[in-house]
């Protein structure tokens, strides 16, 4: 399928962010657009990190610091399907090891009584969802893709992972609280815009999230998403969610 290198410019506090990405021209599912959306997230994060440095708050994240890799990572449905494909493409015995880690994570979450909360796919940021995320973190379950405290699928890591940066001391990440963790503020969350678009709802509160640890099980039950659309049209639809998300943040703030 033909792809074209497209350039987008987003006007944000602190300047204009220029994003170059390869976009498929034909009808595609959201999964095929993920590389372009990952590039978008990377550009926004880079801009936000530079702004943070200018304010005297450098990013403290570093390689082999995997504390955040024990959090409950929210992903969009398309990302779950893509991760399932990625895992199936791993060579043995690596594939079996990763699958067993996913199963072990769900087993431990189940023993802690957290599976109902994980499977509910509640709206991101809600009170119950936040409580579930904190309870999951306390279990200390490492991400199935974590190797030697570093991400083994770094180039293909979920968008939410790309969007999480802190400026507070690394030691604080071992027991994060709102008071001890300072995150880099982003003008919008790309992963949430993708999930919101896939939900097809105009109400952000109805946009649901999927925990990374459920991705293999969920993708097996839901192998297909929304009907394919032309790549540029789908990209514009996701980008349109950015401005609505920023408006929502402004009203909430």
Task: Tell me which residues of the chain have a pLDDT lower than 50.
Answer: 122-125, 247-253
* Long-range contacts of residues 51-57, Cβ cutoff 8 Å, at least 24 apart: 51/13, 51/14, 52/165, 52/167, 52/184, 52/185, 54/14, 57/167, 57/182, 57/184
pLDDT of residue 93: 98
Rg for the chain, CA atoms, rounded: 18
- Which domain, by its residues, includes 94? 3-252
pLDDT of residue 123: 47
Backbone angles phi, psi at 225, to 5 degrees: -105, -145
pLDDT digits (tens, 9 = 90+) for 75-85: 999 999 999 99
Number of structural domains, the chain? Answer: 1
pTM for the full model?
A: 0.90
pLDDT of residue 121: 66
Give the CA angle between residues 151, 154, 159 to the nearest 5°.
Answer: 105
With 0-12 CB in 10 A as exposed, 13-18 as middle and 19+ as buried, what is 9? exposed
């Amino acid at each position: 399928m033909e792809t074209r290198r497209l350039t987008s410019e987003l006007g944000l506090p602190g300047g204009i962010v220029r994003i170059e990405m390869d976009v498929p021209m034909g009808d595609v599912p959201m999964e095929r657009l993920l590389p372009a959306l990952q590039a978008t997230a990377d550009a926004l994060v880079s801009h936000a990190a530079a702004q943070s440095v200018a304010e005297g708050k450098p990013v403290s994240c570093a390689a082999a610091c995997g504390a955040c890799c024990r959090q409950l990572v929210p992903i969009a449905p398309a990302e779950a399907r893509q991760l399932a494909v990625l895992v199936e493409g791993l060579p043995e015995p690596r594939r079996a090891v990763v699958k067993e880690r996913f199963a072990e994570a769900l087993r431990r979450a189940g023993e802690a009584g957290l599976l109902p909360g994980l499977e509910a796919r509640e709206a991101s940021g809600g009170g119950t969802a936040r409580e579930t995320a904190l309870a999951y973190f306390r279990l200390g379950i490492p991400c199935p893709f974590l190797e030697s405290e570093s991400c083994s699928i770094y180039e293909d890591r979920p968008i939410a992972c790309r969007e999480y940066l802190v400026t507070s001391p690394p030691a604080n990440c071992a027991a994060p609280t709102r008071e001890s963790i300072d995150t880099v503020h982003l003008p919008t969350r790309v992963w949430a815009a993708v999930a919101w678009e896939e939900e097809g709802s105009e109400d952000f509160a109805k946009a649901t999230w999927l925990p990374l640890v459920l991705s293999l099980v969920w993708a097996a039950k839901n192998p297909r998403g929304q009907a394919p659309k032309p790549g540029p049209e789908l990209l514009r639809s996701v980008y349109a969610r950015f401005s609505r998300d920023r408006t929502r943040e402004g009203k909430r703030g």
